[in-house]
Structure 1
Amino acid sequence: WNSERGYSAHCGPSPLSSQVHAAAVNGEKNTLHRLITVDPALRDSEDSFGRTPLMYCVLADRLDCAVSLLKAGASVNRRDHSHRTALHLAAQKGNVRFMKLLLSRRADWLLKDREEMTALHLATRHPSPKPLALLLRHMGPGEVDTQDKNKQTALHWSAFYNHAEHVKLLIKHDSNIGIPDSEGKIPLHWAAHNTHPNATDTVRCILDAAPTESLLNWQDYEGRTPLHFAVADGNQEVVKVLTSYEGCNITAYDNLFRTPLHWAALLGHARIVHLLLERNKSGSIPSDSQGATPLHYGAQSNYADTVAVFLRHSVRDESDLEGRTAFMWAAGKGSDDVLKMMLDMKPNLDINMADKYGGTALHAAALSGHVTTVGVLLERGAAVDPLDVMKHTPLFRACEMGHRDVILTLIKGGARVDLVDIEGHSALHWAALGGNAEVCEVLMLNGLGPNLQDSAGRTPLQCAAYAGYINCMALLLQHDSDPNIQDKEGRTALHWSCNNGYLDAVKLLLDGGTFPNHMESTEERYTPLDYALLGEHQEVTQYLLEHGALSIAAIQDIAASSIQALFKGYRVRRAYRERKNLLMKHEQLRKDAAKYASRQRKWFKCQFQTNSPPSNIHKNSNAFLASDNNMGRGGLAGKEVDSYCQGATEVPLIKAPSPHTAPWAPVMAAHCSPKVMG
């Protein structure tokens, strides 16, 4: 406090609301007396914090000013904005003189602040037990265990601050050591949680008062015992004290199904691990809910010295519920020091041991991307291409996660890139599914083709398109990946990109020459545009339409129109052909008739030149022509007529026949064959 300016130098402008506060702080007893004499109301005036002059006397240790204020009638139980009284402040400061003064003026120590703490709670903060002892003398029966907002008593706070004398004093006044706070912790938890070297004294004070198993193994609402806390803090001395008592449960589980030994291994407390193993009378090594032992925990954290303690105590490397050993956990976490140490201490360790899914330590290291661990395992003789139940090699897992350096290390160690898994996926498929362009390039440079198809007919490009990995897709297209390859259901990479609304991927594929209207081979026959419409991807839909994409409905309409047009054209062409054939036939008949008439005329001419025919020839010849208009229908063929005319000079004249026969019938019968006759 600045005595000249009347305020705290580090607080800026004075928070004091009047001269009376300044006088109390500065110890100006005469000024204070004069001010409150003139205006008695000033004795309890409050500043911006709600503090009275009496409170400032406590803070500034102005006992004589406090006496003046109390004599003038200042309220001893007045509260500030934190609901603290002058007694709260005096107890917190450990100012016994002020506490005596205030208690003599009937200060109520049971009053609570906003945290529901009394002066008794605050008195535990001071290293000296005198303030606490003073308050205890003014308490009635049962008041010693008054609880604050967190249900903590003064004993909880004394244990927390590691004040052994305070603990003894409170226990002497019958404070209950078994009251849990809002977290379920009893004072012993807080004592064991303290990392001070003298914390063992406080722990002993509590345990000596009631050395029972229930107290020693009390679990808070998270299932943790005092031993859990001591182990977690690495306080070896407190662990020694706790485990020295009969009945201490070293293998107690918390709500995470972890024992103190699990926590010691996880945090790398090798000495505590040794201590707990030495004092573990059961001899069994506990496992958590997943079947993991403390050895697993130490191995994954790369605490080689801690793991060595377990191995020296002949702790076996048991598998967890997934069949994974601590060695596999170490590989998965990149704990190279632990791996080397375990291989050195256990020469017969099976480096290729597999879990229930067929995964080995190399699988775990490759999946996690620990390139140095992969190198260590390969150097120590690990198989480079072990297959798990899905026929995945470590290379597959590295490709999926995009661990390029691991992939290069595996390939250098002899890993095959041409293997496929149980579903026909190659390493390139997995790299594309993960969107790892660099890995795809490494694999293609090592001989993998970009158009490999899995059991479903899908290519790496389709895998990349499914997730919209543009960089990976662009690289595959640069290496001549065919975007028009369809899988067994007829889908292309464009189908997958449209289905998920990846506009950039759609643009890349269409610009790369993808046909936009491939149809599925399923019953629906969806096109990429159908996928975009079903997914309500408006931008993708618009872009597809601009590039000539059609839906299956549009394709069906076009096909129907084409079929109708084709059928209509067929009918027209058929009618045309029929009429054309008919016209050609009529024209041929006309020509044949003309030829026949010409030959008839020749025949008659021949007849008239040799001898005059009977008189009725002209009449009957007209009847023949009228009844014989076609060739082969009873008339004479041209050839026969010609031959007949040629031999007509040798035919003798014959008398007129009977009325029932044609006049020239005998002549025809004599000179024409039966076939020629009609």
Structure 2
Amino acid sequence: ARSTLLGSQVHAAAVNGDRSALHRLITDPSLRDKEDQFGRTPLMYCVLADRLDCAVILLKAGASVNKADRSKRTALHLAAQKGNVRFLKLLLSRRADWLQKDLEEMTPLHLATRHRSPKCLALLLKHMAPGEVDTQDKNKQTALHWSAFYNHPEHVKLLIKHDSNIGIPDIEGKIPLHWATHNKDPNATQTVRCILEAAPTESLLNWQDYEGRTPLHFAVADGNEAVVEVLTSYEGCSVTAYDNLFRTPLHWAALLGHAKIVHLLLERNKSGTIPSDSQGATPLHYGAQSNFADTVSVFLRHPSVRDDPDLEGRTAFMWAAGKGSDDVMSTMLNLKKDIDINMADKYGGTALHAAALSGHVSTVRLLLERGAMVDALDVMKHTPLFRACEMGHRDVILTLIKGGARVDLVDLDGHTALHWAALGGNAEVCQILMENGISPNVQDQAGRTPLQCAAYGGYISCMAVLMENRADPNIQDKEGRTALHWSCNNGYLDAVKLLLGYNAFPNHMEHNEERYTPLDYALLGEHQEVTQFMLEHGALSIAAIQDIAASTIQAVYKGYKVRKAFRERKNLLMRHEQLRRDAKVLTEMSLSHHVCVSVSERRSRVSKSEQCDNQSSVATPPATVTSPESKPSAPLGESPRGPNHRKTTGPGVKGPDGARPSPAGSSRPGSAQVPCPRGTPQATHGPVQPSRGKAPRSAHCVNPTPCITHLTPTGSSPGPSSSMEHEPQVIRPQVLERESFQRKNQAARTIQRAWRRWACHTHPASTMVHMWRRLKGALSGMEQGEGSADTTTSLLVQLLWDRPAGLFPSQKNAPPLAEHRVPLSKAAGKRNTVLQNIYGESSLIATVMSCVTKGDCSCTPAVWNAGHNDVAVLDHRRIMSPL
């Protein structure tokens, strides 16, 4: 504290010029160069206070002359800055360093140029070598740069006299001439002349800095007409020199509105052409947009100036309209009568488009008064109204509508003026447009409404105005998005609340593969508040909707499978029922066609069998058995013939190899037979009825007879139909299925009847009693059980046929069946009696009796059709089938 106090006293003594106190204090060597808070010594205080006597006392006491403060400036810097010649002489005599630099790397020579008096500068130059005069500071500026900047002609002359270089560029590429012309003082011409007189070369006149600007650019920018006059007076000065943006001094003059300089440059322009900048804009464009009517008037009156368009096709008139330069537009319309007010640029925009976009109401009115097209379309089919709605210029919109602008037009994307107003969030403009007839639910080509455009930007006021005018918040665009999707995507909680308040559905899904809902957008954007609010109002994500849909789809699919199985089962049953009906109809038609032929053939075979019976040792007429392969059979009572003939035994009798034949091996009684073509190599086996003596029966018919082939109930061969190849390809499977069904049905009937025949021969008494009871019950309830009565009657008739001699033989050693055989006519008579007892007396039964007795069936189809539903007719067919 005491040291600081003493230091302050030393500084105070130096400033106040108290030499006695200063002598007393500097006896302490530590106080001679004592620094204050800025690092300044008492010697520096003497320089600042101009206390030369105190400075001498300090220097004699041993104070340092080159001691620097915090800014690295010495007492010599301070003396040069103040222009104090006496101190400069004192300090230089004490060997002060004149080349020492401060923090800005400036020497005392740089600081000496600030004063108009050249004495300090001359004193410093006397101590410097020729090369030291061009010492550069931090910005690479020499003392000559600073002298030209401060507009000190004497300093410039003095420095040039000491061989200072006039062509050294500074950090910006500027030479001293740039700094000399960059001055608004009319007296700057002297400094300019001093420099140019040292080297009046073209390169010096047109020297460009690092931005391409020449000294003429700076003179024009400052509006110094005198300097421009001096520069352009030299032969080598270029009026059309370009800077880095291809702007000439004429561009700068037009932009800044220097009408006199423009006129001067136009007169000094020897090329005769008006240059343009990098965008193709001429100086006239620059003057038009700045609303300098006088400057534009100078351009338009010059014969070399024309209103050429720039690279975008815009003229100076369009630039003036875009900037609202009404004075310039009026001047141009008055001076140039050939201006096309509706001329469009390369994008189709007119001057009215530019004025509407910028919102200049007065310019719009001026253009409309001059006949501008109010609904002019650009390449995007935008009218001036679209531009004004996008920017929200209410007054311009009203002016255009009043001028006849249509509000129902759409652009290439289907946007209306209301869409553009909503995109800009201009609620007042939206209200004006809807009042003029635009629907709030109009959609563009992507299906987006103005409400969705407003929701995209989160413009609450605009959304509220639209929904107050009945805008539907649930309309989806072509991608399935609603206004709620856009609000949730951008996290606009207030917009989400507003939409849900107007009954917006929260679960609309997109139409793409992701099927995102508004809640999905909120989750993807990590908008916690929006997500929570949506969940509270019943919003679902696509994952939750898929879970619900999966359960519903499974339930619906199960019901569909049940219904499908039911329909398939129903169709299958209906198909089987139809096949059964078709088989029944075909069977009835075949029986009605073949029964008469079978009876007539039976008569001829009976006559032949009687001849064979006379030669045979067997009394009982044999039944016919057909081999499984070819299924041929011989007529009743006729022995089979052929090279492969062998004997077979009946039921209960072993064959030649000791094996007992199956009951199904015997021929089915009642099977229809037709003759095969003669000469067919078929092996027939005629089974022998078992006699009581179990004697084998072997009988061969001498007269050859044609082969007999079993017929199916339809009268066709069991195998595939010979006419199958003539059947259509579509019904062949049905025909094959029907024939297979018929073969299986015939085999089942053959087995059943063979078993019944075996039962009748083995236990005739019990069988006949049982059959008689069934027949009696069946006849009493024939209407209820027609099928049972038919079966029982058929069995009884078959038994009567096979045992005509005695119905109930009981002897153990009964004589052979041949001993009980009776003539055919008698047996037929017994059969008639039995049939009459069974069926009663009727005309139809008489017919049946006649067929049985005579062995000839002359029944017409009418008789068969008349009794189709009669049991007697069915049994008539069963009785005639063995014949």
How does the TM-score come out when normalised to structure 2? 0.65
In the TM superposition, residue 498 of structure 1 has moved relative to its aligned partner by 2.9
Structure 1 equivalent of residue 867 of structure 2? 674
Task: Give the AA of the match of 2:375.
Answer: D
Structure 2 equivalent of residue 446 of structure 1? 436
1:442-483 deviation digits (Å, cap 9, x = unpaired): 001011111212222222122222222222121111111122
Q: 1:110 to 1:575 in 2, by over 3 A?
A: closer
Task: Give the AA of the match of 1:663.
Answer: I
Work out the CA distance in 2 between the residues paired with 1:576 and 1:260.
96
In the TM superposition, residue 663 of structure 1 has moved relative to its aligned partner by 2.9
Work out the CA distance in 2 between the residues paired with 1:240 and 1:660.
155
Structure 2 equivalent of residue 43 of structure 1? 32
Q: How do residues 318-337 of structure 1 correspond to structure 2 at under 5 angstroms?
A: 318-337=308-327
In the TM superposition, residue 424 of structure 1 has moved relative to its aligned partner by 1.6
Q: How do residues 56-205 of structure 1 correspond to structure 2 at under 5 angstroms?
A: 56-205=45-194
Task: Give the AA of the match of 2:777.
Answer: N
Query: Quick one: which of 558, 569, 585 aligns to 2:548?
Result: 558
1:641-660 deviation digits (Å, cap 9, x = unpaired): xxxxxxxxxxxxxx997445
**1:216 pairs with 2:205:** yes
In the TM superposition, residue 241 of structure 1 has moved relative to its aligned partner by 0.9
Q: 1:190 to 1:388 in 2, by over 3 A?
A: same
In the TM superposition, residue 330 of structure 1 has moved relative to its aligned partner by 0.9
Question: Any conservation in 2 of the 1:656–1:663 contact (CA below 8 Å)?
Answer: no
Question: Any conservation in 2 of the 1:498–1:531 contact (CA below 8 Å)?
Answer: yes
Q: 1:660 to 1:31 in 2, by over 3 A?
A: same
**1:620 pairs with 2:775:** yes
1:203-236 deviation digits (Å, cap 9, x = unpaired): 1100110001111111111221111111111111
Q: SS in structure 2 opposite 1:541?
A: helix
Work out the CA distance in 2 between the residues paired with 1:444 and 1:508.
20
Q: 1:412 to 1:139 in 2, by over 3 A?
A: same
Q: 1:669 to 1:426 in 2, by over 3 A?
A: same
In the TM superposition, residue 486 of structure 1 has moved relative to its aligned partner by 2.4
Work out the CA distance in 2 between the residues paired with 1:220 and 1:15.
54
Question: Any conservation in 2 of the 1:657–1:663 contact (CA below 8 Å)?
Answer: no
**1:237 pairs with 2:226:** yes
Structure 2 equivalent of residue 409 of structure 1? 399
Work out the CA distance in 1 between the residues paired with 2:420 and 2:190.
61
Task: Give the AA of the match of 1:665.
Answer: G
In the TM superposition, residue 240 of structure 1 has moved relative to its aligned partner by 0.9
Question: Any conservation in 2 of the 1:634–1:677 contact (CA below 8 Å)?
Answer: no
Q: Say how many residue pairs are matched.
A: 610
Q: 1:350 to 1:149 in 2, by over 3 A?
A: same
1:513-568 deviation digits (Å, cap 9, x = unpaired): 22233333334443333333444444333333333333344334333322322344
Work out the CA distance in 2 between the residues paired with 1:240 and 1:623.
147
Work out the CA distance in 1 between the residues paired with 2:169 and 2:418.
59
Structure 1 equivalent of residue 19 of structure 2? 29
In the TM superposition, residue 575 of structure 1 has moved relative to its aligned partner by 9.6
Question: Any conservation in 2 of the 1:530–1:552 contact (CA below 8 Å)?
Answer: yes
Q: Which runs of 5+ in 1 are unaligned?
A: 1-13, 583-615, 636-654
In the TM superposition, residue 574 of structure 1 has moved relative to its aligned partner by 9.2
More displaced 10-residue stretch of structure 1: 459-468 or 279-288:
459-468
In the TM superposition, residue 112 of structure 1 has moved relative to its aligned partner by 1.1
Q: How do residues 332-351 of structure 1 correspond to structure 2 at under 5 angstroms?
A: 332-351=322-341
Question: Any conservation in 2 of the 1:15–1:47 contact (CA below 8 Å)?
Answer: no
Work out the CA distance in 1 between the residues paired with 2:274 and 2:15.
64
In the TM superposition, residue 624 of structure 1 has moved relative to its aligned partner by 4.2
Question: Any conservation in 1 of the 2:130–2:162 contact (CA below 8 Å)?
Answer: no
In the TM superposition, residue 18 of structure 1 has moved relative to its aligned partner by 2.8
Question: Any conservation in 2 of the 1:385–1:394 contact (CA below 8 Å)?
Answer: yes
**1:519 pairs with 2:505:** no
Work out the CA distance in 2 between the residues paired with 1:66 and 1:529.
84
Query: Quick one: which of 494, 502, 509 aligns to 2:492?
Result: 502
Q: SS in structure 1 opposite 2:62?
A: coil
Q: 1:630 to 1:238 in 2, by over 3 A?
A: farther
Q: 1:527 to 1:75 in 2, by over 3 A?
A: closer
Task: Give the AA of the match of 2:256.
Answer: L
Work out the CA distance in 1 between the residues paired with 2:562 and 2:269.
102
**1:455 pairs with 2:610:** no
Work out the CA distance in 1 between the residues paired with 2:780 and 2:215.
137
Work out the CA distance in 2 between the residues paired with 1:22 and 1:619.
159
1:27-80 deviation digits (Å, cap 9, x = unpaired): 1222222322x3233222222221112111111111111122222222211111
1:82-115 deviation digits (Å, cap 9, x = unpaired): 1111111111111111111111111111111111
Work out the CA distance in 2 between the residues paired with 1:54 and 1:552.
85
Structure 1 equivalent of residue 840 of structure 2? 665
1:571-614 deviation digits (Å, cap 9, x = unpaired): 778999999xx9xxxxxxxxxxxxxxxxxxxxxxxxxxxxxxxx
Q: Which runs of 5+ in 2 are unaligned?
A: 574-770, 791-829, 847-862, 872-883
Work out the CA distance in 1 between the residues paired with 2:112 and 2:566.
119
Structure 1 equivalent of residue 238 of structure 2? 249
Structure 2 equivalent of residue 641 of structure 1? none
More displaced 10-residue stretch of structure 1: 665-674 or 258-267:
665-674
Q: 1:676 to 1:47 in 2, by over 3 A?
A: closer
In the TM superposition, residue 509 of structure 1 has moved relative to its aligned partner by 2.0
Structure 1 equivalent of residue 385 of structure 2? 395
Query: Quick one: which of 346, 351, 359 aligns to 1:356?
Result: 346
Work out the CA distance in 1 between the residues paired with 2:106 and 2:98.
10
Work out the CA distance in 2 between the residues paired with 1:551 and 1:62.
88
Q: 1:218 to 1:564 in 2, by over 3 A?
A: same
Q: 1:670 to 1:523 in 2, by over 3 A?
A: same
Query: Quick one: which of 312, 315, 335 aligns to 2:301?
Result: 312
Question: Any conservation in 1 of the 2:839–2:845 contact (CA below 8 Å)?
Answer: no
Work out the CA distance in 1 between the residues paired with 2:843 and 2:780.
16
Q: SS in structure 2 opposite 1:663?
A: helix
Work out the CA distance in 2 between the residues paired with 1:498 and 1:225.
57
In the TM superposition, residue 365 of structure 1 has moved relative to its aligned partner by 0.7
Work out the CA distance in 1 between the residues paired with 2:488 and 2:840.
92
**1:271 pairs with 2:271:** no
1:337-396 deviation digits (Å, cap 9, x = unpaired): 111111111122111111000000110011111111111111222111111011110001
Question: Any conservation in 2 of the 1:620–1:662 contact (CA below 8 Å)?
Answer: no
Q: How do residues 421-432 of structure 1 correspond to structure 2 at under 5 angstroms?
A: 421-432=411-422
Q: How do residues 558-577 of structure 1 correspond to structure 2 at under 5 angstroms?
A: 558-569=548-559
Q: 1:624 to 1:537 in 2, by over 3 A?
A: farther
Work out the CA distance in 1 between the residues paired with 2:533 and 2:788.
75
Q: SS in structure 2 opposite 1:159?
A: helix
Task: Give the AA of the match of 1:562.
Answer: T
Q: How do residues 508-657 of structure 1 correspond to structure 2 at under 5 angstroms?
A: 508-569=498-559, 620-624=775-779, 629=784
Work out the CA distance in 2 between the residues paired with 1:135 and 1:576.
120
Q: SS in structure 2 opposite 1:127?
A: coil
In the TM superposition, residue 495 of structure 1 has moved relative to its aligned partner by 2.8
Task: Give the AA of the match of 1:543.
Answer: F
Question: Any conservation in 2 of the 1:91–1:120 contact (CA below 8 Å)?
Answer: yes
What CA RMSD, in Å, does the superposition of the two structures yield over aligned residues?
2.8
Work out the CA distance in 1 between the residues paired with 2:837 and 2:489.
93
* Relative contact order, higher structure (CA 8 A, sep 6+): 2
Q: 1:89 to 1:619 in 2, by over 3 A?
A: closer
In the TM superposition, residue 497 of structure 1 has moved relative to its aligned partner by 2.6
1:476-501 deviation digits (Å, cap 9, x = unpaired): 11111122222233332223333333
